[in-house]
Structure 1
Amino acid sequence: MEYLFPAVLLFVAFAAAIAISLAGVGALNFTGKYKSGLLPYYCYALLMGNGVAVLLSTRNYLDTGELFSESTLSNPVAALAIKVASLFVMIAAVDQFVRFFKSNKKFYFSRVFLFLSFAAFWVCNIILPAYFSPHRASMELSWTYSLVLGCGLILISGVDGYKFIEHFRNATLSFCFVSLVLIFIKPSLVLQTNYAQGYIPGLPRFAGLAPHAILMGMIASLALWCLFLQPFQSRKLTIAFSMIGMIALFLSQAKNIWISFFISMPILMYYRSDFSEWFKINHSKGRFLYFVVLILGFFLGLGGLYLVVFGNLDRFLAGILRSEQGSQLLTFTGREQIWAVALSEWERSPLLGYGLPLFGPDHRNAVGMFFATSGHNQIIDNLGRSGLIGAIASVVHFLAVTILGYLFRHKTQGLSWVLALSLLVRMISEVPITLASISLDTLPYYLLLGMIAANMKLSDPKPSFLKMES
C-alpha cells in the first residue's frame, strides 16, 4: 500500500488532467457555433452562480445582520454554483483568445495601451503583494480568473458592442425581478428590516440575491442604464421592467449608487436622444434650453443671496451638519476608521503594503473591526494592501479606462463614459475593482472593458493625442 496508493493518486490526477483538457477542447469547438463567442454571455453565468449561492446560503438578516461571508455557504451546491460559473467564464475568455489570434488582427496603440495598463495593474496588486509583502499569501487559482477575463475582454474585436448591452440588460433585470419576488417568499434572506442608517426611517434595506445591498443597487442601476439604451420591443415590457429596476434601486438605499445613477442619467439622455444638437445656440431647442437654464440659475442665485444677506446660511448649514444624515455625510458612516487602519498598515510597509490578507479574518480580529472587509476606498485599499507600487499602477489603469471611456462615448451612446464616471464615484467609499476574484461588484468594470474593446474598429478616427485602433 505504501507504493500502490501514491501510484493510484498519480494515475487519477493524470486521468483528471486529460479529462479536463478534452472537456476544454470540446467546449472551445462548441463555441465555434456562436459568431460572437461566449464571452458576451458571461454575465448570465456570474449572476446565476452568485444568486444561487446566496439563495442556498444560511444568510438571515434577522439573526446575522447584513454581512455575507463564506461561512454562510454551508450548502455544497452553493459553492459548486460559483465554481461552475467561474469555469464558464474561463472557457469563454480562452475562446476569445483563440478567436483573436486566429483572425490575425493587429494590435493598435489603444488596445496595447489598455492591455499593458491592465497587466501592470494585475501584477502590482496581486503578484507583488502576494509574494513580496510582509504578509504573504499562498497561491490561489481564483487570482487568475480576473487576469484571464480581463485579457479576454480586451481582445474582443469585431463584436457588436450592443450585444453586451442586450445581454447585461436581460441578465441584470432578471436578477432584480427574482430578488424582488423573494421578498414575498423568503424576506429574511433578501430584506434587512432593522436598517437604521437610511434617509427614510423604518424603510427596510433590500439586498436581494446580491451579497450586499450596495451591490444590489449597483446591479439595478446597471440594468436601468442598459434598458434605457436598448429598450424591449414591447413598450409595456419596457415600462414594467423600468419599475422593477427603480424599486430595486430605491430599496437598496445605496447612497453612492444613487449619486452615480442621477449623475449618469443626464449623460445617457444627452447621447441617446441627440441632445447634443440642443446645445447649439443657433438651434431653436438650444435657445429654449439656455433660457430654462438661465431662469433656474437666476432663482437659485436669488435664494443663495437671500441666505447670505439675512444671515441664515450659517444656521442652515449648522442644522444640516448636526443632523444624523449630516454626520453620516461627513464621516462616511464610520469609514474614516477603516481608512485610518489601512493607511497605518501602508505606513509600516510603504512600497508593497500589508499584503493581500489585509482585512481578512486574521487581520480583522487583530484590529477589532469585524465589519470591515475592505478599505472602503479604492486608492486607500490599494495603498494598504499593495503599497505605493500597487496604488500607482491602479491610478495609471484608472486613467486609461477613463480616457478610453470618454473617447468612445459617442460609439457607446454615452455608456462607456457613464460606466467610467460611476466607477470613480464608487471609488470614494467602496472598492469597485478587485482582482483577487471575479465577483458581482466588478460587473460595471468588465462591461466597460468589453464596450471599449468591441468598438475598436477599422473605421475609428484617430484623436491627435491618443490614436485609437484604425
Structure 2
Amino acid sequence: MKSLFRIKSIWLMIILMVSISPLLLKIILTNPTIGSKAAVIKITVFILITALCFLYLFKFNFPKKGSWLVFGFLFLEIGPILTQKFGYVADYDYELFTLFSFFILVYLIPPLRTEEFIKISKNFLLIIYVYGSLFFWIISPAWVLDITYSQGLIAGFDIRFSGLTSHGNSLGPLIGVYLILDMYLPSKFPWRILHNFFALFILLLTQSKTVWVLVVISYLVYVIYNKLLWKKGREKLLAISITSLIIAFTFLVLLLFNIPHQLELFIVKNNIMEFTGRRIIWEITMQSWMLNPLFGYGLELWGPEMQQRYLDILKFAPGTAHNQLMQSLGESGIIGLLGLVFYTFIFLRYSIKYAKQTKGITIILFIFIYIRGVTEVSFPNNIYNVANNVHFIAFSLLILLEKQDYFKRTSKTVSAKSL
C-alpha cells in the first residue's frame, strides 16, 4: 500500500510539473522576476523526482516494455541534440535536456493505472485551465483577455481568451485534450455537462480555429470508431443511418444559411490561404535550412535574433516555423527530418495497437497532434510550449498501456505454468 502511494505521488508531481508549464510561461512573460524563481523551483523538483526514480531502479528491475517508444523518441531528439554542436548557429539549451528527461522518466518509473493517469491529467487541465482561467477572468480580466483581436471568424467578436496561458493558441489545445480525455473517462453526471459546457465556451473564446476543427474531427472519429466499426447487423445499420442523417442535416443547414459563400468571402478578405502569414515564415525557414542542409540552422531557429531580423517583413515575431515538418528540417536538417519520420511511424504503430482498448482515444490523440502540426509545432524543444503537454499525455498513455499489457501477459504465463 505504501509503495502504491509513493508511485502515485511521483506521478502526481511529474504530471503537475508538465501541466503548469504553460502557466509558468505566462508568469515569466508578465513578471520575469517571479517567473524565473518559479522556473528554478520547477527544475529543483524535477531533479528530486529524477533522484527518486534512479533509487527505484537500483532497487527493482529495469523496465521491460515501452523501449520502442523511448527509442523512437530518442531518434526524434537526435537532430536537436546534434544541431547544438553542428548546426549553422551552434548553441546549447538546457531546456532540451530537461524536456528530454521528463519523457524518459515516464519510461523509468513504476507504472500507474491508465485510468488513474487520465483522471489526474484531466483534473489538472480542468482545475488550472478551465476553472482557473474563468476565475482570473473575474478578478483580473486584462490578464487573460486580448481585446484587440481582429482575425476571428465570429463577426463583431474582437476578443481572444488566453486564460492562464500566454496565448489563445496555447489554451485551445489544452481544452481540446481535456475534451478528448473526457470521451474515454467521462466525469459523473451532471458534472460532466457543466465541465464540458465551460470547456467548450472557453474553446470558443480562444478563437483557435485549428483546434475547433480538431475537436469536431475528434468527436466524429470517436463516434465512427465506437458506434460503427464494432457494431453488427441492425445496430450497425441504425448507427450508419443516424450518422448519415446528422451529416445530411449539417450540410442542409450550411446551404440554407449560405455558409460556403460567406466562408469564401471571409477567406478572400482575410487572406486565410496565406495561413495568417505562415507561408512567408515557411519560406524563410527553408532558406535558413539551406545554410546547413544536414544539421539545419540550429536551436536558434526563430529565436530572438532571427525574430528581430525579420520583424519588418513579418510585422510580428514568430517563435517557431509554425509547421512541424518545417521546424524539424529548418532546425535540425535532414537528420531531424529522419528522426521525425521514424518517430511518427513508431507513434502511429502503438496508437493503432491500443486504439480498441482505449475506445479510439490513442488514434484521436495521434490525429490531434499531427494535424495541428500543419500550422503549429507538435514536438517543440521548449519545455514551456503547450504542444509538449499534449505530446506528454499521448506518450505517457502509450507507455503505460505497453507496461500494463506486458504485466497482463506475464501474469497469465505464470498462472498457466503453475497449473
TM-score range, shorter chain: 0.7 to 0.9
Per-residue deviation, 1:136: 0.7
Partner of 1:412: 358
Q: Which runs of 5+ in 1 are unaligned?
A: 1-29, 58-69, 307-314, 462-470
- Partner Cα distance (1:38, 1:225) in 2: 24
Please list, as runs of the form range in 1=range in 2, the aligned pairs for 1:1-150 lying within 5 A after superposition.
33-48=5-20, 50-51=22-23, 54=26, 56=27, 70=29, 72-74=30-32, 76-99=33-56, 102-105=59-62, 107-108=64-65, 111-125=66-80, 127-137=81-91, 139-150=92-103
Partner of 1:375: 321
- Partner Cα distance (1:226, 1:294) in 2: 26
Correspondence 1:291 to 2:241: yes
Amino acid in the other structure paired with 2:106 = L
Partner of 1:435: 381
SS of structure 1 residue aligned to 2:190: helix
TM-score by length of 2: 0.85
SS of structure 2 residue aligned to 1:142: helix
Please list, as runs of the form range in 1=range in 2, the aligned pairs for 1:17-416 lying within 5 A after superposition.
33-48=5-20, 50-51=22-23, 54=26, 56=27, 70=29, 72-74=30-32, 76-99=33-56, 102-105=59-62, 107-108=64-65, 111-125=66-80, 127-137=81-91, 139-155=92-108, 158-175=111-128, 176-203=130-157, 204-233=159-188, 235-269=189-223, 274-276=226-228, 279-280=231-232, 282=233, 284-293=234-243, 320-324=263-267, 327-368=270-311, 369=314, 370-416=316-362
Per-residue deviation, 1:294: 5.5
Larger-gyration structure (1/2)? 1
**Count of residues paired in the alignment:** 400
1:93–1:153 CA contact under 8 A, matched in 2: no
- Partner Cα distance (1:322, 1:247) in 2: 26
- Partner Cα distance (2:236, 2:271) in 1: 40
Report the aligned-residue RMSD.
Answer: 3.2
Amino acid in the other structure paired with 2:237 = R
Per-residue deviation, 1:73: 3.2
SS of structure 2 residue aligned to 1:38: helix
- Partner Cα distance (1:96, 1:387) in 2: 34
Change (3 A) 1:117 1:298: closer
- Partner Cα distance (1:243, 1:345) in 2: 44
1:39–1:89 CA contact under 8 A, matched in 2: no
- Partner Cα distance (1:337, 1:412) in 2: 40
Question: Deviations for 1:287-339, whole angstroms, at most 9, x for unmatched residues?
Answer: 212334556778899999x9xxxxxxxx9978754434675431111110100
Per-residue deviation, 1:166: 0.7
Change (3 A) 1:418 1:91: farther
More deviation in 236-245 or 375-384? Answer: 236-245
TM-score by length of 1: 0.76
Amino acid in the other structure paired with 1:88 = V
Question: Deviations for 1:350-396, whole angstroms, at most 9, x for unmatched residues?
Answer: 11111111111111122234421110000101111111111111121
Amino acid in the other structure paired with 1:427 = G
Per-residue deviation, 1:414: 2.3
- Partner Cα distance (1:180, 1:301) in 2: 34
Question: Deviations for 1:380-429, whole angstroms, at most 9, x for unmatched residues?
Answer: 01111111111111121122112211211122332222111100111000
- Partner Cα distance (1:182, 1:408) in 2: 38
Partner of 1:421: 367
- Partner Cα distance (2:212, 2:297) in 1: 32
Change (3 A) 1:218 1:117: same
1:31–1:38 CA contact under 8 A, matched in 2: no
Q: Which runs of 5+ in 2 are unaligned?
A: 410-419
More deviation in 372-381 or 113-122? Answer: 113-122
Amino-acid identity (%): 21
Structure (1/2) with the larger helix percentage? 2
Question: Deviations for 1:259-310, whole angstroms, at most 9, x for unmatched residues?
Answer: 1111112333456xx5257642x2x221212334556778899999x9xxxx
- Partner Cα distance (1:298, 1:47) in 2: 40
Question: Deviations for 1:196-255, whole angstroms, at most 9, x for unmatched residues?
Answer: 11111232110011111111111111222223322334x232222122211111111101
Amino acid in the other structure paired with 1:35 = I
Change (3 A) 1:332 1:460: farther
- Partner Cα distance (2:395, 2:381) in 1: 14
1:161–1:412 CA contact under 8 A, matched in 2: no
1:354–1:385 CA contact under 8 A, matched in 2: yes
SS of structure 2 residue aligned to 1:402: helix
Partner of 1:67: none
Partner of 1:6: none
Change (3 A) 1:49 1:340: closer
Amino acid in the other structure paired with 1:262 = V
